[in-house]
Structure 1
Amino acid sequence: MTTLSSSGIAPDIQTMNLCFYGAGSMAEALVRGVLDRGLTEPSRIGMMNRQNAERMRELSDRYGITGAVGDAAKETMLREADIVFLAMKPKDAADAIRGVRDLLHPGQLVVSLIAGMTIATLETLLGKPMPIARTMPNTSSTIGLGATGLSFSASATDAQRRLTDAMFQAVGLTAIVEEPLLEVVTGLSGSGPAYIYYMMEAMIAAGAKLGLTPEAARELTVQTVLGAAHMVKATGEDPAELRRKVTSPNGSTQAAIEKFDAYRFAEAVEAAVARSAERAVEMGAEIERNAKS
């Protein structure tokens, strides 16, 4: 079952402490989102990373959150958190989680932003039963227009599920799916922005090659993609129907679509999404092997 949502009411988290282990762009996007939505106060948010003290100072100055520097501060932050966000890089995740698992307890909600890491692998690394939310956001979350897939462990309560959903709605749309489908979410929306950028690259290059200035080609391409996305959103119509409406028989658009078909464009996109999902599974298997070693 898949549940899509774009708005909602968060359970009260004003009294909860949030700890982000990892301070990259996705963690920052979520911090900015929950603060902008007024879901909590900066004093309730702590962030930590392995050793970049300058990054902690930067985020503290920018958002008013607490940036933990030093082992004692990090340990206290992890112990006292109600929600722990795991936002480290996949290659560092297994060792990092092993290093802090004794500080965590079953009363906390663990929210994983680690690409490819399954709930089962995370449970193995934690070494104890804990409620877990596995998430797959995309980079558009950094501007509040993200698309995030969510899955939960069996021990996650309804309140914890609603809470996680509300927090990620603060940076865009959410889709609650069974865990195996998170890899499909990875192939579709997780990697999806790159597909659109790739298409835009080609359109800009084509416009410039045919005589437009690079600046004009870029601006026209950006506005075209923006307008097309808004048309789908605003009208609620199927993209196929909107495409048909602008494709006159024997017209210039039809000629272009025929070229796409000749190069098997739709098949290429389907294969790309499938391969991305497949690679996500492979990455998960690699993480699982590291977790067991």
Structure 2
Amino acid sequence: MLGVGSMGGAILSGLRAPGVQIPKPISVTTKSARSAAEFDGAADVVALASETDPEANRTAVKGAGLVILAVKPWMILDVAREIADALEPGVIVVSVAAGVTCASIEAALPAGVAVVRAMPNTPSLIGRGVTGIAGGSAASEADIDTVKALFETVGSAIVVRESQINDVAAVSGSGPAYLFLYVEEMIAAAKRLGFDEDQARLLAEGTVTGAAELLARSGEDPAQLRRNVTSPKGTTEQAIFVLQDANWGELFDRALAANVRRSEELAAE
């Protein structure tokens, strides 16, 4: 794994969780020696820092059957070119970067290298991630299945067309941030009602995590769960009317469109 930022770190933590069965140790590279030192003593990770070892990325990929590019989008192609002649035959290269196409990565690597794009999200950190996977022109069904199996160790995964990967990023990749924003606003609203910080956090965070767990365990459609709470002519119904009057459907359409548009801009850049 080249790069262990917020997304790479979440995936790595999920892969290191007890019970996850993958070949180890995992070779990782970080920018700073300080970040690499955080893995000192770990039996399942070999960490190299590009700050002190200019060959860190090339060293890390030697012997690897699967390489995850988890650096920032604007660094992906430079890193791909850097490691190109150090890759093993038959390697699968996985990019988790938004806006960087399989074709552009393939062009930076030796002909025939399988490139797969994966769009995970940060709940991978606790084994509850959702990942969209799309293969490039050289990726076989077996390659895609291998990547899918890897990400299923940290949650759920679906295979999509590459033309859909930006949509996956808009819905699930960025989705946790939308929920966290909702909780922020619920806390702020509770404080305006007179609750102190601790009370407001307990009310908002406890409600959201409890409701999410109920959704996960019940198997019910979310619309039905909402109806279960919304008694006709009751208090919840009045609040729902206000929220629906704000046209949440159109708001979400605009938010997701803005997200997809930014992915397309990154690709163009």
Q: When the two structures are superposed, what TM-score results if normalisation uses the length of structure 2? A: 0.90
Report the equivalent of 2:213: 230
Query: Offset of 1:105 from its aligned partner?
Result: 4.7
Report the equivalent of 2:267: 284
1:112-170 Cα offsets, whole Å, 9 max, x none, are 11121111111122252211110011122122221111111243233322221121112
Corresponding residue to 1:40 among 15, 19, 22:
22
1:131 has 2:114 as partner: yes
8 A Cα contact 1:87 1:112, kept in partner: yes
Indicate the larger mover: 265-274 or 251-260: 265-274
List gaps (5 residues or longer) in structure 2: none
Report the equivalent of 2:5: 24
List gaps (5 residues or longer) in structure 1: 1-19, 287-293
1:257 has 2:237 as partner: no
CA distance in 1, matches of 2:256, 2:147: 26
The residue type paired with residue 32 of structure 2 is N
Change (3 A) 1:61 1:42: farther
Query: Offset of 1:207 from its aligned partner?
Result: 0.7
Corresponding residue to 1:243 among 209, 220, 226:
226
Q: When the two structures are superposed, what TM-score results if normalisation uses the length of structure 1? A: 0.83
Report the equivalent of 1:52: 32
Report the equivalent of 1:269: 252
Query: Offset of 1:91 from its aligned partner?
Result: 2.1
CA distance in 2, matches of 1:201, 1:30: 25
1:66 has 2:49 as partner: no
The residue type paired with residue 40 of structure 1 is I
CA distance in 2, matches of 1:137, 1:159: 20
The residue type paired with residue 236 of structure 2 is T
Report the equivalent of 2:178: 195
How many residue pairs get aligned? The number is 265
Aligned counterparts, 1:129-208, within 5 A: 129-208=112-191
Two-structure CA RMSD over aligned residues (Å): 1.9
The residue type paired with residue 36 of structure 2 is M
Q: Which has the higher contact order (CA 8 A, sep 6+)?
A: 1
Query: Offset of 1:236 from its aligned partner?
Result: 1.6
